Copies of this chain bind each other. A is one copy, B any other.
């Protein structure tokens, strides 16, 4: 991964996307990657991208995906301060199914700024990992900063990980 020895002392500087971070083994998060970030993304050896906006994916990014056999999973969640809880939940559950399937790793989750939609998906993953709510909020705020939304924190609080039993049916 990132710590490959051949990376040391190379002259080429990597530019990670805005709000980039490692979420877990083989899971990354960020804001929207632009073309200056593609050489960095290449070092992650991604197998898939979970894209949480409804807008079409840019042509340059699609070319990068095709050239590197990266699968795009799009779950278009409207940018809104008060999205319908049902719609948001359904899409987040779809994205979570892709996210927890190790066959899709390494995977990058991103939306526009890597704050709200990405923060909600990562927060739901943390619920699955049995993190306490305080730690989930703290991580959410670390990326959303002064744009943190109470509606997202309520969503995270209400999100029921025990609800659909089919939810954990992985295809492996």
Chain A: number of interface residues, binned into ranges? 35 or more
Residues from chain B with a CB closer than 8 A to the CB of A22 are 21-25
**Residue of B whose beta carbon sits closest to that of A3:** B24
The verdict on A1 contacting B14 (CB below 8 Å), with A8-B168, A129-B7 known, is no
A3-26 residues at the B interface, CB under 8 angstroms: 3, 5, 7-10, 12-16, 18-25
B20 and A21 within 8 A (CB): no
Residues from chain B with a CB closer than 8 A to the CB of A138 are 18-19
Residues from chain B with a CB closer than 8 A to the CB of A3 are 24-25, 100, 102, 129
A130 and B16 within 8 A (CB): no
B-contact bits for A126-141, CB 8 A (1 contact / 0 none): 0011111011001100
In the complex, A60 has a CB within 8 A of chain B: no
Give Cα A161 to B18, complex, Å: 24
Give Cα A143 to B22, complex, Å: 14
Give Cα A136 to B3, complex, Å: 16
Which of B13, B23, B100, B134 interacts with A130 by CB under 8 Å? B13
A8 and B135 within 8 A (CB): no
Which of B9, B16, B19 interacts with A131 by CB under 8 Å? B16
In the complex, A2 has a CB within 8 A of chain B: yes
In the complex, A166 has a CB within 8 A of chain B: no
Give Cα A87 to B15, complex, Å: 30
Residues from chain B with a CB closer than 8 A to the CB of A132 are 13-15
A142 and B139 within 8 A (CB): no
What are the 3 closest A-B residue pairs judged by CB atoms, nearest first?
A22-B22, A1-B25, A13-B132
